[in-house]
Amino acid sequence: MNEITLRSAKQVIFGTGTRTELGEHAAVLGARALIVCGRTSLQASGALDELREHLTAGGVAVTVFAEVEPEPSLDTVERGRQALRDADCDLVVAAGGGSAMDVGKAVAGLAGHPQPVAHGTEITGLGRPCIALPTTSGTGAEVTPNSVLTDTVTGEKASIRGHALLPELALVDPELTVSCPREQTAYSGLDALTQAIEAYVSTGANPVSDLLAEESARRIAGSLRAAVADGANLHAREEMALGSLLAGLALASARLGLVHGLAHPLGSLYHLPHGLVCGALLPWVMEYNLGAAAEKYERLAVAVGVRGSPANLVVWARELVDDLGADLDFAEAGLKPEDFGEILPPTLASGSSGHNPRPVDEESVRELLTRLIA
Ligand SMILES: [Fe+2]
């Protein structure tokens, strides 16, 4: 049996209403918290004020860094680190979607790091503690040891990784996702489903990640359409939040696959949301992997309630992606053969592509990209 490595936040608390416990948990970890969040949605939903109140009630002083943009940059992490130093904070509370959590984790993990942040930076030391509160059901970033960040100089979008990026506490309250808009619910949900499926068939998959990934896919398959149709459906939101958390735990152990290898270069080149690109690529990559992952697809089909051959699972995925409006026309989005030379090197170099069940080389990726625009 292969070596099994399990990674997670040090503590994970899941449940509706658990956000009210923020103050008591934060008080154990620090006295001055920097809330790292996006520019608008946490404010608009009232969650920012509420989280601030919970922290204050726990005796924790609060400074807010509400400057995280979608698909965030290394520069934003630098500004966040400066805000942490300026306010002399000893704790980060990262609240929001994957972008806010990725920046918050990096600000905390790199707090004591003397150098400016850069891709390839070796993340040493334990940094500051971070509490991650997801407000979307998608990335699972609350339990993963990486942050996806864009270098605005080179345009490169890549992960920084390391033990120091694992949060001290993941506080997953499905009620925080109720205000997530329809489109974002669909896209982030497809990201979570993609992560569950890629972790399940990854070459890094193991008996523990398989349990997590299969259960994740089962819960997401049973609730994503309902969560998109009615955002106030708390049961569907709970199922999605748990599915997303399980997918995060699975990928933190098993890694991902070719969808994620392609999603970063395609996303940054054509400015597409991560979840949309993942969903749109998923059926194509599942088809590519069909021969190499047939046995796993067969088991996954049973888990999500699809009958028949493994190929039917691909049909099911395509229908779900279409229904949720993520059937992206790649040619219309800008993909063209002249760009393949720019897309191929980061795709082939990515650790995700390296864990794809069917080996990936220049010719096969070129062929797949050509099919996307045929
Ligand atoms: Fe993802």
Domain count along the chain: 2
Report the pLDDT value the prediction gives residue 274, as an integer from 0 to 100.
94
**What's the order of all strands across the beta sheet hosting 61-68?**
11-14, 169-172, 130-134, 91-96, 32-38, 61-68
Q: Which tens digit of pLDDT belongs to each residue from 204-255?
A: 999 999 999 999 999 999 999 999 999 999 999 999 999 999 999 999 999 9
Ligand 1 mean position, distance from CA 144 (Å): 11
Ligand 1 mean position, distance from CA 116 (Å): 25
Task: Provide the H-helix boundaries in the chain.
Answer: 22-29, 41-44, 47-57, 74-86, 98-109, 182-201, 207-229, 234-254, 258-270, 274-289, 294-304, 310-323, 330-333, 340-349, 351-354, 362-372
Lowest-confidence pick of 151-165, 205-219, 317-331, 356-370: 151-165
Q: Which tens digit of pLDDT belongs to each residue from 203-214?
A: 999 999 999 999
* Residues 279, 85: Cα–Cα separation, whole Å: 39
The answer to whether 308 and 301 have CB atoms below 8 angstroms apart is yes
Shared domain check, 283 and 215 = yes
Ligand 1 mean position, distance from CA 166 (Å): 17
Residue 292 belongs to a domain: yes
Shared domain check, 154 and 297 = no
Both tokens assigned to 149: 């960040």
Ligand 1 mean position, distance from CA 139 (Å): 5
Q: What is the pTM of this model?
A: 0.96
Shared domain check, 156 and 171 = yes
Shared domain check, 368 and 297 = yes
Ligand 1 mean position, distance from CA 24 (Å): 31
Residue 96 belongs to a domain: yes
Residue 28 belongs to a domain: yes
Residue 6 belongs to a domain: no
Report the pLDDT value the prediction gives residue 122, as an integer from 0 to 100.
63
pLDDT at 333 > cutoff 90:
yes
Both tokens assigned to 156: 């490169």
Shared domain check, 206 and 160 = no
Quickly tell me which residue has 């033990």 as its tokens. 163
Ligand 1 mean position, distance from CA 260 (Å): 6
Ligand 1 mean position, distance from CA 196 (Å): 10
Ligand 1 mean position, distance from CA 354 (Å): 16
pLDDT at 121 > cutoff 70:
no
| Exposure letters 292-316 (e unless 16+ CB within 10 A, then b) | ebeebbeebbebbebeeebeebbeb
Residue 2 belongs to a domain: no
Report the pLDDT value the prediction gives residue 117, as an integer from 0 to 100.
74
The answer to whether 109 and 162 have CB atoms below 8 angstroms apart is yes
Q: Which of 177, 203, 237 represents a domain boundary (last residue)?
A: 177
Q: Which tens digit of pLDDT belongs to each residue from 26-49?
A: 999 999 999 999 999 999 999 999
Residue 5 belongs to a domain: no
Ligand 1 mean position, distance from CA 276 (Å): 10
Ligand 1 mean position, distance from CA 188 (Å): 8
User: Predicted confidence band at 159 (pLDDT cuts at 50, 70, 90)?
Assistant: confident
Q: Which tens digit of pLDDT belongs to each residue from 45-93?
A: 999 999 999 999 999 999 999 999 998 999 999 999 999 999 999 999 9
Q: Which of 122, 156, 177 represents a domain boundary (last residue)?
A: 177
Shared domain check, 137 and 69 = yes
* Residues 355, 363: Cα–Cα separation, whole Å: 17
Roughly what angle, to the nearest 10 degrees, separates helices 182-201 and 234-254?
Answer: 40
12 sits in the region (left: phi over 0; alpha: psi -120 to 50; else beta) called: beta
Report the pLDDT value the prediction gives residue 154, as an integer from 0 to 100.
85
Q: Which residues are CB-contacts of 222 (< 8 A; sequence separation ≥ 6)? A: 239, 304, 305
The answer to whether 193 and 239 have CB atoms below 8 angstroms apart is no
Give the range of the structural domain holding residue 232, as residue numbers without chain letter. 182-372
Q: Which tens digit of pLDDT belongs to each residue from 279-288?
A: 999 999 999 9
Ligand 1 mean position, distance from CA 72 (Å): 14
Sign of CA dihedral 195, 197, 199, 202: negative
Ligand 1 mean position, distance from CA 124 (Å): 25
Shared domain check, 226 and 162 = no
Q: Which of 177, 209, 241 represents a domain boundary (last residue)?
A: 177
Shared domain check, 195 and 169 = no
Both tokens assigned to 116: 């400016």
* Residues 212, 208: Cα–Cα separation, whole Å: 7
Ligand 1 mean position, distance from CA 192 (Å): 7
Average pLDDT, the chain: 95
- For the domain that residue 79 is a member of, what is the CATH number? 3.40.50.1970
Both tokens assigned to 75: 């520069």
Ligand 1 mean position, distance from CA 56 (Å): 33
